[in-house]
Amino acid sequence: MDKLLRYLLAVAWILGAAGPIPAQTSKAGTAGPDTDRAFTRLIQRYYDAWNSLDVEKAGEFYAKDAGLIFYDITPFEYHGWAAYKEGVKQAFFDKMTSAKLIPNNDLRVTRRGNVAWTTVTFHLSGALKTGGAMELDARHTAIWVKRGGRWLVVHEHISVPLPE
């Protein structure tokens, strides 16, 4: 955690010293910067990896720092990719025979240098090993950092609306 805090402080100092960097924000899928098209493809690959029900494939999109926090629907939070990986296998994959995460056409990307955040809603459709079905709509926010030429998730928040 101390290493992550030093990293974030260094990034903040660099951003402050460089002066304001204009944010590039737009809705992907519309005529926009190449960044949006790149993130549209990245998000689709991200969802395809999760749809494979192979945590190793999904793991390619995540930074592996132990101090990172990921919020999912259940449980409350995961500390680091290793915990997230195991938790998702137990809480989700071990209970499903199939699952399809379908991102909606509302992706928004905001980028400042090598940091970006994305928001998108998605639909989950799945079959439970117990024979039931799972259908739900959810929200997904991710913070990405470009490392070694690759965008990696360093924080993620997935939530579902309260039932009406």
pLDDT for the residue numbered 164 = 80
Tens-digit pLDDT profile for residues 38-96 = 899 999 999 999 999 889 999 999 999 989 999 988 778 999 999 999 998 888 888 88
pLDDT for the residue numbered 12 = 38
State the fold for domain 24-159: Nuclear Transport Factor 2; Chain: A, (3.10.450)
At residue 128's C-alpha, the angle toward residues 127 and 130, to 5°, is 135
pLDDT for the residue numbered 75 = 79
What's the pTM?
A: 0.77
Phi-psi bin for 123: left (phi > 0), alpha (psi -120 to 50), beta? beta
Tens-digit pLDDT profile for residues 88-142 = 888 888 888 889 999 999 999 999 999 999 999 999 999 999 999 999 999 999 9
What is the distance between the alpha carbons of residues 160 and 164, in angstroms, rounded to a whole number?
12
Domain boundaries, the chain: 24-159
59, 85 Cβ separation under 8 angstroms: yes
